[in-house]
């Protein structure tokens, strides 16, 4: 199974700052990765697919990059509604796997 | 508007069975692959099972293989998960998720249905 390791586990930032979240795969997944945002009591929301493509309706302050084993989600100028947990996912091989999550909290 | 709505969760004893349902609307159900993803309380996301749009291809996480069965009825726009031999570690919120066209990531999720396995 492909293991996805997200870091850091918790990111404490203030509104207006830039968040940089990392996801590292145990083997190459090419560009077959996605990022999700989850707020308390809500289902996940797709933000980024194929490593760098924003899903429909996702603000431009969210961007994804990377390929192979290293991926990054960047959130520029954090808004209050961006404080949440973020998960990466790979679809390169079965079983589909998710990272353990990064919580972006208000500092 | 795309919607997926899960039902069927509840409290069940270890060793028991439960059948989850997911009603889909707002899109052409029979053209989309579907999946179940679960989340234990306070934990991360775990993919459980997936099914192709024509009901011919299914796959499972090792943790549920042999105990869970995914199916769909395209005439009813519905997805199902039959869960047998339930264990305490199956306790989780179960989400129905629509796969993006030709890709196994998920663009629409339901609100989830909670399954609690406890005596």
Nearest Cα neighbor of A24 from A1, A5, A47, A3 is A5
Q: Does the beta-carbon distance from B106 to A46 stay under 8 Å?
A: yes
Radius of gyration of chain B (CA): 13
Percent of chain B with pLDDT over 70: 100
- Calculate mean pLDDT across residues B3-23: 98
pLDDT band at A24 (very low <50, low <70, confident <90, very high): very high
Is the pLDDT reported for residue A101 higher than 80?
Answer: yes
Q: What is the DSSP annotation of B3-19?
A: EEEEE--EEE-TT--EE
Nearest Cα of chain B lies from the Cα of A79 at a distance, in angstroms, of 22
Chain A residues close to B27, C-beta within 8 Å = none
- Calculate mean pLDDT across residues B29-38: 97
Tell me what the pLDDT averaged over chain A comes to.
Answer: 97
What's residue B27's pLDDT? 97
Tell me what the pLDDT averaged over chain B comes to.
Answer: 96
Is the pLDDT reported for residue A70 higher than 90?
Answer: yes
pLDDT band at A28 (very low <50, low <70, confident <90, very high): very high
Percent of chain B with pLDDT over 90: 96
Is the pLDDT reported for residue B23 higher than 90?
Answer: yes
Is the pLDDT reported for residue B60 higher than 80?
Answer: yes
What's residue B12's pLDDT? 98
- Calculate mean pLDDT across residues B57-68: 97
Nearest Cα of chain B lies from the Cα of A103 at a distance, in angstroms, of 11
Is the pLDDT reported for residue B55 higher than 80?
Answer: no
Q: How far apart are CA A83 and CA B65, in angstroms?
A: 36
Percent of chain A with pLDDT over 70: 100
Chain B residues close to A87, C-beta within 8 Å = 44-45
Q: Does the beta-carbon distance from B109 to A49 stay under 8 Å?
A: no
- Calculate mean pLDDT across residues B31-41: 97
Task: Spell out where chain B has E strands.
Answer: 3-7, 10-12, 18-25, 34-39, 45-51, 58-60, 68-73, 78-83, 92-99, 106-109, 113-117
Is B36:B48 a contact under the CB 8 Å cutoff? yes
pLDDT band at B110 (very low <50, low <70, confident <90, very high): very high
- Calculate mean pLDDT across residues B10-33: 97
Closest-approach residue (CA) in chain B for A97:
B47
Nearest to A89 among B50, B95, B105 (CB): B105
Task: Report the sign of the C-alpha dihedral through residues B95, B57, B78, B99, in that order.
Answer: positive
Q: Which of residues 6-65 of A touch B (CB under 8 A)?
A: 32, 34, 36, 38, 42-46, 49-50, 55-56
User: Chain centroid to CA B26: how far?
Assistant: 19
Specify the DSSP class assigned to residue B69.
E
Closest-approach residue (CA) in chain B for A41:
B111
What's residue B56's pLDDT? 76
Is the pLDDT reported for residue B102 higher than 90?
Answer: no
Q: How far apart, in Å, are the Cα atoms of B68 and each of B44, B61, B91?
A: 20, 10, 14
Is the pLDDT reported for residue A52 higher than 80?
Answer: yes
Q: Which three-class secondary structure state does DSSP give residue A39? A: coil
What's residue B73's pLDDT? 95
């Amino acid at each position: 199974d492909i293991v996805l390791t997200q870091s850091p586990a918790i990111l404490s930032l203030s509104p207006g700052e830039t968040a940089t979240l990392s996801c590292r795969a145990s083997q190459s997944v090419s560009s077959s990765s996605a990022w999700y945002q989850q707020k308390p009591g809500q289902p996940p929301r797709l933000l980024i697919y194929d490593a760098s493509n924003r899903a429909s309706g996702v603000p431009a302050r969210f961007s994804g990059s990377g390929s192979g084993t290293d991926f990054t989600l960047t959130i520029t100028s954090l808004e209050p509604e961006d404080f949440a947990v973020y998960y990466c996912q790979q679809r390169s091989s079965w079983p589909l796997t998710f990272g353990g999550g990064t919580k972006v909290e208000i500092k | 508007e795309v919607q997926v709505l899960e039902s069927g969760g509840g409290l069940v004893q270890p060793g028991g069975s439960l059948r989850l349902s997911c009603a889909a609307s707002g899109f052409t159900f029979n053209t989309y692959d579907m999946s179940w993803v679960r989340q234990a309380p306070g934990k991360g996301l775990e993919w459980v099972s997936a099914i192709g749009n024509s009901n011919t291809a299914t796959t499972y996480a090792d943790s549920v293989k042999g105990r869970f069965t995914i199916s769909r009825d395209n005439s009813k726009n519905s997805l199902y998960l039959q869960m047998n031999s339930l264990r305490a570690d199956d306790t989780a919120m179960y989400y129905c998720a629509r796969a993006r066209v030709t890709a196994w990531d998920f663009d629409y999720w339901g609100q989830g249905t909670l399954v609690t396995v406890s005596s």
